[in-house]
Amino acid sequence: MKKAVAHLRASDPVMDRIIERVGPCRIGYHAPDFRALARSIVFQQLNGTAAASIFERFEQACGGSVTPEAVAKLRMPKLKAVGLSERKAEYIRDLASHVRRGAVDFGSLPSLPDDEIVERLTAVRGIGEWTVHMFLIFALRRPDVLPVGDYGVRAAVRNQYGLAELPKPSEMRRIAEPWRPYASYASWYLWRSLEGPAEL
């Protein structure tokens, strides 16, 4: 992590300024399992604090352990009662079904390259590129993930790099070129540069 931070500070003066203000990098990681991916689904398009509260209630409804087997026992009214939208509840149930029948194998993911993981997981209903990017960063601990579709990262880039509007993916990639191969750490600092929390 120190090597990543040193690279970011040396390669990009804007990132250097952000790091100076935010301080040490303290990314919170999750185990690369069903729970982590279900958590990413819950966090889709929600404020971090609200999503964390919903996920906590969801975990309690699962008996304290978010597993495919626990999810399979929960009916839709119970899932909606904890704060999940019907669509997200369906997504999590579909993911649980994929895992239970062996279509998604979390044990095999750590050995695969990022692009293949994206391809495999986005085949599951309700899991898009953003969700997989969060899983890659916060569960598989991949160091060079650039979540070009994340609103927070885009807003931070707009603010910090003096852009008139939210950057498009191509512009994000251009700006991020000096961060390679540590775009995940740069993304974390961009989240932290915002006023709100960046918990994931």
> CATH 1.10.1670.40 spans which residues of the chain?
2-24+145-193
> Where in the chain do CATH 1.10.340.30 domains reside?
34-138
Is CATH 1.10.1670.40 correct for 2-24+145-193? yes
Which one of 12, 114, 144, 150 is the catalytic residue?
Answer: 150
Task: State the pTM of this model.
Answer: 0.86
Q: Evaluate if residue 197 carries a pLDDT over 50.
A: no
Identify the CATH class of 34-138.
Answer: mainly alpha
In the chain, the amino acid numbered 190 is: L
Q: Using H for helix, E for strand and C for coil, what is the string for 78-122? A: HHHHCCCCHHHHHHHHHHHHHHHCCCCCHHHHHHCCHHHHHHHHC
- Using pLDDT thresholds of 50, 70 and 90, give the confidence band for residue 200: very low
Q: What is the pLDDT of residues 107-160, one digit of tens each?
A: 999 999 999 999 999 989 989 999 999 999 999 999 999 999 999 999 999 999
Give residue 195's pLDDT band: very low, low, confident or very high (50, 70, 90).
low
The reported pLDDT for the residue numbered 167 is 95
Give 46's pLDDT tier (boundaries 50, 70, 90): confident
Whether 12 sits among the annotated catalytic residues: the reply is: no
- Tell me the mean pLDDT in the region 24-51: 89
Query: b/e per residue, 90-115, with b = 16+ CB within 10 A?
Result: ebbbbbbbbbeeeebebeebeeeeee
- Do 53 and 61 contact (CB within 8 A), yes or no? no
